[in-house]
């Protein structure tokens, strides 16, 4: 499922995946956080979406 530019996001309505994301907390070193932020910027996505993509690619959807 892809999102078109300008498409309004609605609360509790999944856009990119089959389910709604929930807020989670992880602890990272500053080095790891800065690296993942740079990767997200390069891929023009959010850190959240980058982590989601990495996990789904490693272990399937």
pLDDT of residue 4: 52
Tokens of 54: 């990495």
pTM (2 d.p.): 0.65
CA neighbours closer than 13 Å in the CB half-sphere of residue 8: 2
The overall average pLDDT reported for the chain is: 81
Mapped onto helix, strand or coil, the DSSP state of residue 29 is coil
pLDDT of residue 20: 76
First to last CA, the chain: 13
pLDDT of residue 21: 74
pLDDT of residue 15: 62
Question: Which residue in the block uniquely carries the two structure tokens 């740079």?
Answer: 38
pLDDT of residue 22: 80
All residue ranges of the chain with pLDDT < 70 are 1-17, 60-61
């Amino acid at each position: 499922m892809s999102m078109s530019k300008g498409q309004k996001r609605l609360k509790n309505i999944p856009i990119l995946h089959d389910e709604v994301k929930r807020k989670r907390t992880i602890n990272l070193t500053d080095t790891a956080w800065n690296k993942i932020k740079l990767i997200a910027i390069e891929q023009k996505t959010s850190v959240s979406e980058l982590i989601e993509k990495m996990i789904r690619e490693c272990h399937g959807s």
